[in-house]
Amino acid sequence: MRKIREVLRLKFDAGLSVRKIAASLSIGHSSAGDYLCRFAASGLQWPIDISDAELNRRLFPPAVPVPTDQRPMPDWAWVHAELRRPGVTLALLWQEYRLAHPQGFQYSWFCEHYRLWAAKVDVVKAMILQLGSGQ
Q: Are 30 and 84 found together in one domain?
A: no
**What pLDDT is recorded for position 95?**
94
8-17, 93-102, 118-127: segment of lowest average pLDDT: 118-127
Tens of pLDDT, residue by residue over 32-78, are: 999 999 999 888 999 888 988 899 899 988 877 766 677 888 999 99
Specify the DSSP class assigned to residue 43.
T
**What pLDDT is recorded for position 14?**
92
Q: Are 115 and 84 found together in one domain?
A: yes
Average pLDDT over residues 90-114: 92
Question: For residues 9 and 3, what is the distance between their CA atoms, to the nearest angstrom?
Answer: 10
Q: Are 103 and 53 found together in one domain?
A: no
Q: Are 77 and 106 found together in one domain?
A: yes
pTM to 2 decimal places: 0.50
Over 80: is that where the pLDDT of 127 sits? no
